[in-house]
Chains A and B, each alone.
Chain A
Amino acid sequence: NAGVMQNPRHLVRRRGQEARLRCSPMKGHSHVYWYRQLPEEGLKFMVYLQKENIIDESGMPKERFSAEFPKEGPSILRIQQVVRGDSAAYFCASSPPKLAGGPPNEQFFGPGTRLTVL
């Protein structure tokens, strides 16, 4: 049973280009989360999605960032017109659906995509 897959592992972009980060959740998991880790900082929540639906995007920057999790295929985090401040490690996690009223499910993390903006 493969874990959470992320690709690419390393991505280099020049300022103004677009970055697309992909995440394939664990088998049987229908919920995906994206977190960003800036150098020397902890992870910051960005967005929580289930297939074809955004559940919580309270951590997403208002501009240039978008995320989707289509019915078929991986989840995509898209950053348009990248700037140097976007350089970070982006982690994806997945979990099964949470039962109403129950504790949060464990999130299983991928190895991350390290984005460098030149």
Chain B
Amino acid sequence: AQSVTQLGSHVSVSEGALVLLRCNYSSSVPPYLFWYVQYPNQGLQLLLKYTSAATLVKGINGFEAEFKKSETSFHLTKPSAHMSDAAEYFCAVSMGGAQKLVFGQGTRLTINP
């Protein structure tokens, strides 16, 4: 069965610092991977996705993620955090092209001024 693990339910960084949110997956078939952001009392918005093209994927708001098959990881990064990045971030996986998404537990990102 597929699964997604997000290491760290809460991450806190200073404004201007590097943001690193970790995501590992388990899969018996090539996965498709996604990062979503959720602002308070809102739905999820897609940040970026990996669909077996380039392993380094660039998304919106300056975020990017790198697919590392050997490490079964898809960590999300942003070089310089902004106050508006404070939100909950979810990693999700689709196995074998299925439309059903399996989500991680989420990581709440706090930005300190």
Contacts and interface: CB of A to CB of B under 8 A. Distances in A.
Interface stretch (A14-22, A43-51, A63-71, A73-81): A43-51
Interface string B9-40: 00000000000000000000000100010000
A112 B43 contact: yes
Interface stretch (B61-69, B70-78, B100-108): B100-108
Given A103-B32, A103-B51, A110-B43, A43 B97 contact: no
Interface string A95-118: 100100111111111111000000
B27 to A, nearest CB: 14
A91 B99 contact: no
A107 B105 contact: no
Contacts of B98: 56, 104
A31 B51 CA distance: 20
B55 interface: no
A72 interface: no
Interface string A28-42: 000101010000011
B97 A45 contact: no
Contacts of A110: 43
Chain B interface mostly helix, strand, loop or mixed?
loop
B56 interface: no
Contacts of A103: 32, 51-52, 97
Contacts of B51: 103-104
A82 interface: no
27 contacts: A4-B43, A31-B99, A35-B101, A41-B105, A41-B106, A42-B90, A42-B106, A43-B92, A45-B100, A45-B102, A48-B100, A55-B99, A56-B99, A56-B100, A59-B100, A91-B43, A93-B44, A95-B99, A98-B99, A102-B97, A103-B32, A103-B51, A103-B97, A107-B99, A107-B101, A109-B43, A109-B44
Interface of A: 4, 31, 33, 35, 41-45, 48, 55-56, 58-59, 91, 93, 95, 98, 101-112
